[in-house]
Structure 1
Amino acid sequence: MVDQKLLLDIIARYEATYFAVNRQINSLFREAMPEGLTVEQYSVLRYLRKQGKTNSSELADTFCVGRSSITALTTRLFDKQLIERQQDSKDRRVTYLKLSPAGEQLTDQSEIKIQEMLALHIQHFDEQEALQFITTYEKLAKVMSGTYGIEGGETEQ
């Protein structure tokens, strides 16, 4: 276990670094996105790109926002013709959301731009540093989501 003084120092460094990196990543995302699309809207499009289709409740849970916020956001994306709504064939109360062809094209183009921009920064790490960073960051994500130690035989230390 880390001693208290060191722990507080690590937390302060994490907060400062997180703020700086997050601000820059949001800036990169805004550069890669077309005019009139917010980072939140683009994040939903990226999620739909990876998932294929989902419903509003899952999006709200995934992005830790209320269902009314997701409804407003997805309505804007629908109005921009970037997503489509599809009713479940067995339960008409369930509506799935998926990318439209225009949404697929937009995310394809934007993903290339984002990957190119992130690669410019990641290339400053050697292979070992990059792998150690992502392994540690993935561990943090699992710890924070409560899944650390559940899959893959990981043990808590």
Structure 2
Amino acid sequence: MSKENIQSIVDRYIDVSFSVTKKEEALMTKELGSEITQDQHYILRYIYRVGSCTSTELAEAFEVKKSAITAIINRLWEKGFIKRTRDEKDRRVVYLTLTEQGEEFFQRIEEKINCLIEKLISKFEPSEMEQFIKTYEKLNQMLIEIKDNQIDHL
């Protein structure tokens, strides 16, 4: 492939990636409303799926500093969505779980987001959607490998 063709693909990728990300964020923000941010939603989603975790685990999963996670956790705790429970054997360890209110809230907003995503994916043929997801998963795996290789070279 020529340098011009590669540059054209790079430009298209960057342009569409930026456009899709911004539009997706705007639609998600509209669905979430003013009660919760996207970052808070992703944290609630993670805790909902795993059941219980620590802030260190969250920081690692979201690839951010623990202080950033702590700020989000504090806001979710203030809203009554998260419960903190100290480990009985090691009081330094704090487990995070959703409260009943947090679980109900998460399920309510998740339903809104699922409806939004369903509207989008219904515009595609099933085979197109399957290929898109496979390609997106492949891109994610490649990015993980690149990140891991960069860490190995430090």
When normalised by structure 2's length, the TM-score is 0.87
Alignment of 1:6-25 (within 5 A): 6-25=5-24
The 10-residue stretch of structure 1 (65-74 or 6-15) with the greater mean CA deviation from structure 2 = 6-15
Q: How many residues align?
A: 146
Q: Distance in 1 between matches of 2:5 and 2:100?
A: 51
Match of 1:143 in 2: 142
Q: Distance in 2 between matches of 1:32 and 1:46?
A: 15
- Return 5+ residue gaps in structure 2 as ranges: 147-154
Q: Distance in 1 between matches of 2:105 and 2:28?
A: 13
The answer to whether 1:66 aligns with 2:75 is: no
Q: Deviations over 1:104-156 (max 9, x none)?
A: 11111111111111111111110111110000000111111129xxxxxxxxx
When normalised by structure 1's length, the TM-score is 0.85
**By how many angstroms is 1:49 displaced?**
1.1
Structure 1 residues 3 and 37: alpha-carbon distance in aligned structure 2, compared to 1, 3 A threshold? same
Q: Distance in 2 between matches of 1:26 and 1:98?
A: 26
Superposed CA RMSD in Å reads 1.6
Q: Decide whether the 8 Å contact of 1:56 with 1:97 is kept in 2.
A: yes
- Return 5+ residue gaps in structure 1 as ranges: 148-157
Percent identity over paired residues: 36
Give the number of the structure whose residues are more often helix, by fraction: 2
